[in-house]
A and B are shown apart, each in its own frame.
Chain A
Amino acid sequence: MRRLLIMLAGVTFAAATLAQPPEEATEPTLQRWQTLDQPQSLAPVAPARVELMVRATPPPPQRALEIGLVVLDPGTGGDSLSNRQQGVFEDVRSAESRYLPFALRRALVDSNQWGAVRVLPGSDPGYELLVSGRILVSNGAELSLALTVRDSLDTVWLEKTYSMVAGENAYLEAERRLRRPFQDLYHEFANDLYQLKRERSDAELQRIREVSELRYAADLLPDAFRSYLGRDESGLISVQRLPARDDPMIGRIRRVRAQEYLFIDTTDEQYAELYTEMTPVYDLWRQYLREQLAYRESWEARLAERDTPRRGSYEAMKQTYNNYKWEKIQREEMRTLAEGFDNEVAPTAMELEGTVVQLSGSLDQRYREWRDLLRQIYQLETGP
């Protein structure tokens, strides 16, 4: 088996190397193949694994777009009752909506194909690349995310639903050490995004960066920068003219933005902390969910095989009642697990929530002060 794994690792290595563009030297992630002393029965030899395309060195500055991942829509649009009936627990989803962007962020950072990748508490349309999305399914056995990626020009790079079914051993500790549950989904997304970047020239990426900066500036000082941007006939943002390279206002805008990034990086650390603390509990939660689903399937199969008792008989009524009773007990069990999950995760999440709110407030305040200051400078420079 060990030899087979090494052979597979070799094939994987070759396939991953061939998949890379010649101008961007890459190497595949080999960490999971280096841990080979697993029991044979647990050895992961799944054929459809998605290897992350990884650059050996950081990308050149002109291709290092910055990415913002907005906290996901938890997908709990229905009322509490219908969510409960569908096995969707709002508190768990709320935690997942912050956890999953960080999982995607990790894949993007690990790929070494991008500039800074940040998880954002809210949307920022001026970002060079902005990832937003919604959790469609998350039940331990399956994860399905509807993701959209837009650049600062408002061009949609990607609008796709990513779905994956967890393997039978996905939650075994030995397997988790090799590969996080649903890691292939995160890899697939990161690889797709990388492929889309490959299709764009340096000049196109440069335009995205310019527009991003101008959108940020126009948001901060609309009077000064609105005229630099327009919309073309297809509704996309276009640059009407560019400020001078030594424009002092642009220099100030960049300093403000750097301040903003400092704040966002601090909130990002909080998301990282949430990710680390939540991971073991979240794995357990998803494992329980998966086991419950598997048990339910086998129970339904057994039920289908059973002889149907005479209608109206005691046996028939008992079966009808027990089906209902089993369903209700299952839901109660799920709710207990969800409460256990919340009891462990909630303090961190609340702390995170508190910090984010505090930081956002502070950020807004700084923004306002900076904007006032910049407007004053602007008025002084241009005259009344």
Chain B
Amino acid sequence: MSRPILAALLAVLVSACASEPEAPAAPEQKLVLPTPLMKDFSGHWEMDYGRSDNVDRKLRSLYREMQRNAQRVARGDQRSRIMSPELVNASFGKVVDMARMADMITDSQVLDIEQSADDIEIRRENNFTLTCVFNDGQPELVIDELGSEICGWDAQQLLFRIALPDGLDILHRVSMSEDRQRLHVATTVNRRGASPFTLNRFYFRFDPLPEDYECEYTLSRGNVCQTGGL
């Protein structure tokens, strides 16, 4: 895939995310990110439940909003059947499915991130590792049998898009606070015929207990550790 196409693809993703009906985060939670473009996300991160989205609360709020919209439409056009209560319920059912998916995909409580000038690995508890090779700023596309992935920088944010069969589309947008103490992962689940759903997860940095030994994994002896470095 050529660079312009990839750039366009990322631009579409960015705009798709921006045009969502939901606000990605409350104003006080909005992270202010400085230049330069690439940020160093390295470190250990633990979920901050207080700041992260509560799926049930978010769904209730969405349901009320959908009902209000339906009432407005019904008042304006009595003949309209577009937003009948049945249709609101059916439409809301799809939103609930998307929300459950987003919740399942982002349920890792701990993230371990290793980053170099060339690549990044985001190890997620109970999930697969998100990896991205920076390729001098050119997005990397990986196509597998069961799906495809593209990743790259959008200003100070790192984007991972995973396209799966049946039109299921997942976008992770990773950013960091200015003081480098908080990480924000906004995950949008999208599917043809359903409204996208974005779930915001926040993480705070923690330092694991310092270890006086270093370990190296070996095939026949497992982890081999010794003090003072290997």
Residues of A within 8 A of B (CB): 81, 85, 280-281, 284-285, 288, 311-314, 316-318, 320-321, 323-325, 327-329, 332, 336-337, 339-341, 343-344
Show the binding face of B for A, using Cβ within 8 Å. Answer: 94, 96-97, 100-101, 104-105, 127-129, 142, 144-147, 162, 164-166, 168, 170, 191, 193-194, 216-221
- Across the interface, do A339 and B164 meet the contact criterion of CB distance under 8 Å? no
CB pair A281–B220 under 8 Å, yes or no, is: yes
User: In the complex the two chains form, is B128's CB within 8 Å of A320's CB?
Assistant: no
User: Bound state CA distance, A318 and B191, in angstroms?
Assistant: 13
- Name the distance in Å between A281's Cβ and chain B's nearest Cβ: 5
Q: Are A313 and B97 in contact (CB under 8 A)?
A: yes
Contacts A281-B220, A313-B97, A327-B144 hold; do A321 and B166 have CB atoms under 8 A apart?
no
Residue of B nearest to A345 (CB): B219
Nearest Cβ distance between residue A360 and chain B, in whole angstroms?
30
User: Are A321 and B144 CB-contacts (below 8 A) given A281-B219, A285-B219, A332-B128?
Assistant: no
Which of A81, A323, A332 meets B146, CB within 8 Å? Answer: A323
Note all chain B residues with C-beta closer than 8 A to A328: 128-129
**Does A341 lie within 8 Å of B166, measured CB to CB?**
no
Do A318 and B101 form a contact, CB below 8 Å, given A85-B144, A327-B146? yes
6 A-B pairs with least C-beta separation: A328-B128, A340-B219, A314-B97, A340-B217, A324-B146, A324-B147
Q: Other than A324-B164, A344-B221, give 9 A-B pairs with Cβ distance below 8 A.
A: A281-B219, A314-B97, A317-B168, A321-B105, A321-B164, A321-B168, A332-B128, A340-B219, A343-B219
Please give, as numbers and ranges, the residues of chain A lying within 8 Å of B142 by CB-CB distance: 81, 85
For residue B168, which residues in chain A have a CB less than 8 angstroms away from its CB?
Answer: 317, 320-321
Whether B194 and A312, one on each chain, are in contact in the complex, defined by CB atoms closer than 8 angstroms, is yes
Known: A324-B147, A329-B128. A343 touches B194 (CB 8 A): no
- Asked if B162 and A317 make an inter-chain contact with CB atoms under 8 angstroms apart, the answer reads no
Contact B218 A343 (CB under 8 A): yes
> Known: A324-B146, A325-B127. Contact between A341 and B164, CB under 8 A?
no
Q: Chain B residues with Cβ under 8 A from A81's Cβ? A: 142
With beta carbons under 8 angstroms apart, the residue of A321, A325, A343 that contacts B217 is: A343
Q: Which residue of A lies closest to B162 (CB)?
A: A324
Check if B166 sits within 8 Å of A344, measured CB to CB: no
Smallest CB separation, A161 vs chain B (Å): 25
Say yes or no: B216 contacts A312, CB within 8 Å: no
Looking at B94, B105, B128, B194, the one whose CB has the most chain A CB atoms below 10 A away is B128
Contact (Cβ within 8 A) A311 B218: no
Nearest chain A residue, comparing its CB with the CB of B101: A317
In the assembled complex, 30 residue pairs joining A and B whose CB atoms fall closer than 8 Å, in A order, are A85-B142, A85-B144, A281-B218, A281-B219, A284-B219, A284-B220, A285-B219, A312-B166, A313-B97, A317-B166, A317-B168, A317-B191, A320-B165, A320-B168, A321-B104, A321-B168, A323-B146, A324-B144, A324-B164, A327-B144, A327-B145, A327-B146, A329-B128, A336-B217, A340-B219, A343-B217, A343-B219, A344-B219, A344-B220, A344-B221
The docked-state distance in angstroms from the alpha carbon of A343 to that of B218 is 6
Contact in complex: B220, A321 (CB < 8 Å): no
CB B149 to nearest CB in A, in angstroms, measures 9
**Are B128 and A339 in contact, with the CB atoms below 8 A?**
no
Do the beta carbons of A332 and B217 come within 8 Å of each other? no
Residues of A within 8 Å of B218, CB to CB, are: 281, 340, 343-344
Q: Smallest distance from the beta carbon of B146 to chain A beta carbons, Å? A: 5
Report B-chain residues with C-beta under 8 Å of the C-beta of A320. 164-166, 168
Give the distance in Å from the alpha carbon of A318 to the alpha carbon of B221 in the complex: 37
Chain B residues with Cβ below 8 Å from A324 are: 144, 146-147, 162, 164
Q: How far is the CB of A286 from chain B (nearest CB, A)?
A: 11
Q: Note all chain A residues with C-beta closer than 8 A to B145.
A: 327
Structural contact, B193 and A312, CB atoms closer than 8 A: yes
Residues of B within 8 A of A336 (CB): 217
CA distance A324 to B96 in the complex (A): 22
A281 / chain B contacts, CB cutoff of 8 Å: 218-220
Task: Determine the distance from Cα of A344 to Cα of B220 in the docked complex, in whole angstroms.
Answer: 8
A85, A284, A288, A343 interface centre (most CB from chain B within 10 Å):
A343
B191 in complex: contacting residue of A312, A329, A339, CB < 8 Å: A312
Tell me which residues across on chain B come within 8 A of A323, comparing CB atoms. Answer: 146
CA gap between A318 and B101 in the complex, in Å = 7
Q: Which of A85, A285, A312 has the most CB of B within 10 A?
A: A312
Contact between chains at A316 and B162 (CB < 8 Å)? no
**Most interface-central of B100, B216, B218, B221 (chain A CB within 10 A):** B218
CB-nearest residue of chain A to B104: A318
> How far is B145's CA from A40's CA once the two chains are assembled, in angstroms?
42
CB distance from B165 to the nearest CB of A (A): 6
